Amino acid sequence: MAFCLKDLLEFDDIVIQCHDNPDADALASGYALKWYLKKHGKDARFIYGGRSPISKSNLVLMKENLGIPVEYVNELKPPQLLVTVDCQYGESNVKHFDAENIATIDHHQISGTLPEMAALRSNYGSCSTVIYELMQLEDIDINEDVNIATALYYGLMTDTSGFEEISHPSDRDLRDYARPRMADIVLFKNSNLSKDELVIAGDALKHAYYDEKRLYAIVESKPCDPNILGIISDMTLEVDSIDACLVYSVMPFGVKISVRSCVREIKASELAAFLASGYGGGGGHLIKAGGLLKKDLLEKAGISYDNASIRSFLDDRLKDYFENSEIIFAGEKVEDISEYEHYIKKELSLGFVRAVDLAAPGTKIMIRTLEGDIDTIVEEDIFIIIGIDGEVYPIRKKRFDENYTLSDDEYVYPGEYAPSVMNHVSGERVKILPFARSCVSRGGCGIYAKKLDHRVKVFTKWDPEKYYLGTEGDYLVVRADDHSDMYVIAEEVFKKTYIKEQA
Ligand SMILES: [Mn+2]
C-alpha cells in the first residue's frame, strides 16, 4: 500500500523536522503537516536544528504573518515518530535526532534508504506540492485556512523561481488551486533580497566566464538563496552574445543550478536535467530551468566537493553537451534510409475519450498531462487518446477511424498522474479517466528506425520551434510513407510499441 498521511495517525508523540537552514518550502511543508495532524487531534511539534535560527527577512516575515509555530532546537527527547519534510533522515543538512520511528515526505532525489513510511516525489517542484496532494487524497481542502494556502503557494513559488521552473502537472495544480493571501505573497517577495545578497549577485556577474565560440556563459555565485541564482541567470541571458547560461552555487548540501536559454536549439529544462542527471534532478521550461546536484551523490561518484573540482566537472559536462549533440531539421533533406531497419507497430490497447463527453462543443479546454498543458477547442469529431505511458493527445475522428479499433475491454490507466481537463469557460476541472474507453491501435505501414549512439535534437516538420531530444538507446524514426517526417521515440516506448518486420 502506498503511504498516506493517515498512516501517521497511528502515533501520538510526533515531531516534524525540516532541514537545517529552512527555506520557505520546508517551513510551508512542516506547517501544513502540523495543521493536518491537529485536525486529527494530534499535537505535533515542528522543529529544525543546525547552526543558526532563521534570519532571512522573507522567512521571518512568513513565520510571523502566517503564524508558523516552528522551533529551533538542538536537543530532542527521542519521539515515537519523527517525520522529515523537504529532506531525508540522515542527510548532511538534517540535524540528527534519535527517534523510534521515521517517516519522510520529500521531493528531492533519494539519498540513502527510505523508511517504510515515505512519500518521495523526486520530479515535483516542491515538497509543498507533495503535502498538498497527500491532503487532497484525503479530501482536506488547503483553502480552508488562508495561512496554510498562502504558505504552500509561497513554498512552491520560491522552490521554482517564481513558478518559472515548474515542470510537473501536480505543481501546476497547486499553483492554480491555492487561494493565498496575495498581500502577503507580495510582501514576502519584496523582502527576498538583502543588501548582502545583491553584493553576491554583483560579485558573481563580475567573474562570469564567456565561451565566445559556443555562446554560453558560466557564473559561479557564493552560497546564496536559490532565487538569487535565478536573478543572476536572467541578467546574464540578456547579454547580446549569450545564447545560454549556467549559474551555480556550491551549497553545504549540494550544487544549486539555474539554467537559461534563448535559442531554440537548447531547451533550458533539458540542459538542466542533463547537467544534474545521475546526481540529482533538474527541470523547468524552454527558457528557464533549475536543479540540484546533491553533495552525497557527487561524492559517491568520486567527485570531490570543493569549488575547483565542481567547476571543472560542470565545465566538462557543458562542453560534452555542446559538442556531442547533433541537430536535425526534418524535411530539409530526404533521409537515406539504407542505415535504418523497418518496424511495424504492435497492436496496443489504449484509451480514448470523446471531447464532447468533457465539455460542450465550442468550449475552450485545457488538457493537463504529465508532458504539459494542451489547449484545444471541443468539437464533435475530436477524440482524446491516452497512450501506453499515460501520454494524452487529441486527434480527429478521421484519423481515429483509420488507426484504431474500438474494444469492449475495461480501460485501465497505466500512468502515474491522472490527466484532467480544465474548462476555460466555467473554470471547472473534470477528470478524464471516468470517461475513458478502450481501443486498439492498428499496424499501418510502419516506420524506419535506427538506434541512437549519441544525442540528437530533431526539429520535426510539424513544430519548427521545439525539438525532440533523443539520447543513446532511443530511436531515430522516419515514417515509411513520408521520408521527410522524422522524429524520436524513447527506448522504452519504442520497445513496447514496435516490432521488427520479419523478412
Ligand atoms: Mn523544497
What is the domain range of residue 336? 328-343+445-500
Q: In this structure, is the dihedral angle defined by the CA atoms of residues 360, 363, 366 and 369, taken in order, positive or negative?
A: positive
Q: How many CB atoms lie within 10 A of CB 274?
A: 21
The H or E element spanning position 161 is none
CB 126 within 8 A of CB 171: yes
The Cα–Cα gap between 64 and 110 comes to 32
Q: What is each CA distance from 280 to 111, 120, 272, 283, in whole angstroms?
A: 9, 13, 10, 11
Q: Are residues 400 and 458 in the same domain?
A: no
Q: Are residues 268 and 372 in the same domain?
A: no
Residue 339 DSSP SS3 = helix
DSSP assignment of 203-268, as one string?
Answer: HHHHT-EEETTTTEEEEEE-S--HHHHHHHHHHHHTSTT-SEEEEEEEETTEEEEEEEE-STT--H
Report the separation in Å between the CA atom of 155 and the middle of ligand 1, taken as the mean of its atom positions. Answer: 7
Q: Are residues 319 and 335 in the same domain?
A: no
Q: Are residues 336 and 238 in the same domain?
A: no
Report the separation in Å between the CA atom of 202 and the middle of ligand 1, taken as the mean of its atom positions. Answer: 26
Report the separation in Å between the CA atom of 129 and the middle of ligand 1, taken as the mean of its atom positions. Answer: 9
What CATH number is given to the structural domain containing 312? 3.10.310.30
Cell output for 267: 531547451
Task: Out of 141, 162, 189, pick the residue that ends a domain.
Answer: 189
Report the separation in Å between the CA atom of 74 and the middle of ligand 1, taken as the mean of its atom positions. Answer: 22
- Please name the residue that has the C-alpha cell 488551486: 177
The Cα–Cα gap between 154 and 194 comes to 18
What is the per-residue pLDDT for 503? 60
* Structural domain total, the chain: 4
Point out the least confidently predicted range of 82-91, 322-331, 342-351: 322-331
Report the separation in Å between the CA atom of 29 and the middle of ligand 1, taken as the mean of its atom positions. Answer: 9
Distance, C-alpha 302 to centroid of its chain: 27
Q: Are residues 365 and 493 in the same domain?
A: no
Residue range 450-498, pLDDT digits in tens: 999 888 888 877 677 778 888 889 999 988 888 888 888 889 889 988 9
The Cα–Cα gap between 311 and 319 comes to 12
Is beta strand 101-106 parallel, antiparallel or unpaired with respect to 117-120? parallel
Report the separation in Å between the CA atom of 448 and the middle of ligand 1, taken as the mean of its atom positions. Answer: 44
What CATH number is given to the structural domain containing 151? 3.90.1640.10
Section 243-255 average pLDDT: 94
Report the separation in Å between the CA atom of 408 and the middle of ligand 1, taken as the mean of its atom positions. Answer: 44
What is the per-residue pLDDT for 1? 61
Question: pLDDT exceeding 90 applies to what percent of the chain?
Answer: 58
Q: Of 366, 386, 368, 387, nearest to 377 (Cα)? A: 366
Report the separation in Å between the CA atom of 334 and the middle of ligand 1, taken as the mean of its atom positions. Answer: 47
Sheet holding 14-18, edge to edge: 70-72, 45-48, 14-18, 81-85, 101-106, 117-120
Please enumerate in sequence order all residues whose Cβ is within 8 A of that of 52, keeping only pairs 6 or more positions apart, or say none.
21
Report the separation in Å between the CA atom of 125 and the middle of ligand 1, taken as the mean of its atom positions. Answer: 7
The Cα–Cα gap between 289 and 164 comes to 7
| pLDDT surpasses 90 at 123 | no
Report the separation in Å between the CA atom of 33 and the middle of ligand 1, taken as the mean of its atom positions. Answer: 14
| pLDDT surpasses 80 at 502 | no
Q: Are residues 204 and 183 in the same domain?
A: no
The Cα–Cα gap between 99 and 76 comes to 9
What is the per-residue pLDDT for 331? 73
Residue range 137-181, pLDDT digits in tens: 999 999 999 999 999 999 999 988 889 878 789 999 999 999 999
Q: Are residues 303 and 415 in the same domain?
A: no
411 versus 326: the higher-pLDDT residue is 411
Report the separation in Å between the CA atom of 156 and the middle of ligand 1, taken as the mean of its atom positions. Answer: 8
The Cα–Cα gap between 361 and 352 comes to 17
Buried b (16+ CB within 10 A) or exposed e, 153-169: bbbbbbbbbebbbbbbb
What is the per-residue pLDDT for 285? 78
Residue range 11-32, pLDDT digits in tens: 999 999 999 989 999 999 999 9
Q: Of 89, 52, 45, 49, nearest to 70 (Cα)? A: 45
Q: Are residues 468 and 333 in the same domain?
A: yes
- Please name the residue that has the C-alpha cell 553576491: 200
Point out the least confidently predicted range of 98-112, 136-150, 283-297, 363-377: 363-377
Report the separation in Å between the CA atom of 159 and the middle of ligand 1, taken as the mean of its atom positions. Answer: 6
Task: Out of 273, 288, 323, pick the residue that ends a domain.
Answer: 323
User: What's the chain's Rg over C-alpha atoms?
Assistant: 24
Report the separation in Å between the CA atom of 60 and the middle of ligand 1, taken as the mean of its atom positions. Answer: 17
Q: Are residues 424 and 455 in the same domain?
A: no
Report the separation in Å between the CA atom of 206 and the middle of ligand 1, taken as the mean of its atom positions. Answer: 29
- Crossing angle of helices 24-39 and 127-137, in 10° steps, is 20
Report the separation in Å between the CA atom of 135 and the middle of ligand 1, taken as the mean of its atom positions. Answer: 17
Report the separation in Å between the CA atom of 290 and the middle of ligand 1, taken as the mean of its atom positions. Answer: 12
Task: Out of 172, 189, 206, pick the residue that ends a domain.
Answer: 189
Q: Are residues 96 and 111 in the same domain?
A: yes
196 versus 129: the higher-pLDDT residue is 129
Please enumerate in sequence order all residues whose Cβ is within 8 A of that of 25, keeping only pairs 6 or more positions apart, or say none.
86, 126, 127, 128, 155, 156, 158, 159
The count of residues in the chain is: 503
Q: Are residues 12 and 151 in the same domain?
A: yes
Q: Which amino acid is at 247?
A: V
Q: Are residues 28 and 138 in the same domain?
A: yes
Residue 332 DSSP one-character state: S
Report the separation in Å between the CA atom of 333 and the middle of ligand 1, taken as the mean of its atom positions. Answer: 46
| pLDDT surpasses 90 at 443 | no
The H or E element spanning position 463 is none
Section 193-222 average pLDDT: 92
